[in-house]
Amino acid sequence: MAKRRLEDAIVASRALSVGIKLIDQFRSATNLFSHDVHYHSGIFSLRFSDELDQIAVGYGDGSIRFFSVTNGKQTNEYLPSSLPPLEHLRRLSMDLPIMSLKWHPLVTHLLFAACVDGTIRKIDKQKNELNVIGYEPDNELTSMDFSSDGKYFATVGKDAHIRIYDSEKCSIIHKYHNQRTDTQLEQIHSQHDNTGEDLTCTTGHYYRAFACKYHPDHKDILFTGGWDNIVKIWDIRQKEAMNEAIIGPHICGEGIDARGNEILTASWTRSNSLQIWDFRTMSLLKTLNIPNAADEKGEFMYSAQLCDNRTVLAVGSGTCACHVINIETNQEIARLPLSKPIYALDSMLGGRVFAFGGLDKFCIAHMKDN
């Protein structure tokens, strides 16, 4: 309890330092700043810094830009052209979308990016450097996430494998193999570590995986999901998937979140796209209502997050809007529309400040108590 109070006090101090009011009730929401992104092939990822002062934005042309949370102005940019020349010789293209951005949970000046070209990139804010630290050949990365202690990160993508990395060495320590029929057993068993131990299994996904999410309270528990309509649960200390799974969610973006005993999924489906599940039983607790969406162009959600005050944020391509929904009342608190599909979403301060972006704009918004 004392640790939690200290953490809350630190967050409150950071919020005040960047001029953010910590409201207790979410009754509406409004945009603070917005930027057009047509010239950079849209936005596919967003991530607020731990210091709360900046947001990193990943674009469709492979660039990453930082913006101030307080005034919305660009503060820095990292272009594919700034990578060492050797990296350009190794790859056919370095200007493909940045699909996922994650700050290291402990070394907070390090930002990691998962890219469609199969590279894992790292930005060191202190050194103002962009580098490639990993490469998955013949894969298109779609998501990555860190364990809460920062020791490991996971990646998923087109090849449906799930790879667990040692974050300090940036080396693969375990690989959950896909379930495709073309998997060759001799290829699986030929991958060993120095002790001869097999590092792979065949209980991964069948189709492309789009989301991986570590549970914030359980550093060894990882959720993954994709096109095969199943959310798998992994204890990374084990070599096989856990027996429990969530059947149904059709994940096409970073559409998995977890908080306490609740798991939120965002599915790219016409209806019933936002669902909350019980982590203990994997049973469905609630399907969230998105007013009029099914009667228009459908829901088709890409990403969603659980926030304070029993609130969910969600974005997608059906309504082309960011939705704020109260879980208890199952009512929409706010809807912030754009004109084209929205792929990326992130929030800070328990959802009091959030950002979303897609093919035409990215916006920084905040909750209001009136």
pLDDT in tens, 215-237: 999 999 999 999 999 999 999 99
pLDDT of amino acid 210: 97
pLDDT band at residue 83 using 50, 70 and 90 as cut-offs = confident
CB 29 within 8 A of CB 19: no
Cβ neighbours around 124 below 10 Å, total: 13
Amino acid making up residue 208: R
pLDDT of the residue at 90:
62
CA distance 69 to 224: 30
Indicate the range of 20-34, 142-156, 204-218, 319-333 predicted with least confidence: 20-34
Residue 2 is predicted with a pLDDT of 52
Rounded-to-integer distance, Cα 270 and Cα 223, Å = 23
pLDDT tops 70 at residue 287? yes
How do residues 186-200 score in pLDDT, each as one tens digit?
Answer: 333 334 344 444 444
Per-residue DSSP letter, 367 = E
341, 337, 339: which is closest to 365 by C-alpha?
337
Residue type, 72: G
Please state the CATH superfamily assignment of the domain spanning residues 76-248 in this structure.
Answer: YVTN repeat-like/Quinoprotein amine dehydrogenase (2.130.10.10)
pLDDT band at 76 (very low <50, low <70, confident <90, very high): very high
SS3 185: helix
Residue with the larger pLDDT of the pair 296 and 51 = 51
pLDDT at site 60: 95
Least confident of 22-36, 84-98, 146-160, 242-256: 84-98
Q: How many CA atoms lie within 13 A of 1 on its CB side?
A: 0
* Rounded average pLDDT over 327-352: 96
Which pLDDT belongs to residue 185?
34
263 touches 246 (CB < 8 A):
yes
DSSP 81: G
Predicted pLDDT of residue 81: 83
Q: Which two tokens stand for residue 7?
A: 């953490």
Which pLDDT tens digit goes with each residue over 89-135?
566 566 899 999 999 999 999 999 999 999 999 999 999 999 999 99
Element (H, E) at 220: strand 218-226
Whether the Cβ atoms of residue 214 and residue 149 lie closer than 8 Å to each other? no
Q: Is the pTM of this model over 0.75?
A: yes
* Residue 9 pLDDT exceeds 60: yes
pLDDT for the residue 303:
98
Q: Find all residues with CB under 8 Å of 163, minimum gap 6, and list them.
A: 136, 154, 155, 156, 172, 174, 175, 176
Domain boundaries, the chain: 76-248
> Of the given ranges (57-71, 171-185, 285-299), which has the lowest mean pLDDT?
171-185
Measured CA angle at 356 (ends 221, 10), to 5 deg:
60
pLDDT band at 211 (very low <50, low <70, confident <90, very high): very high
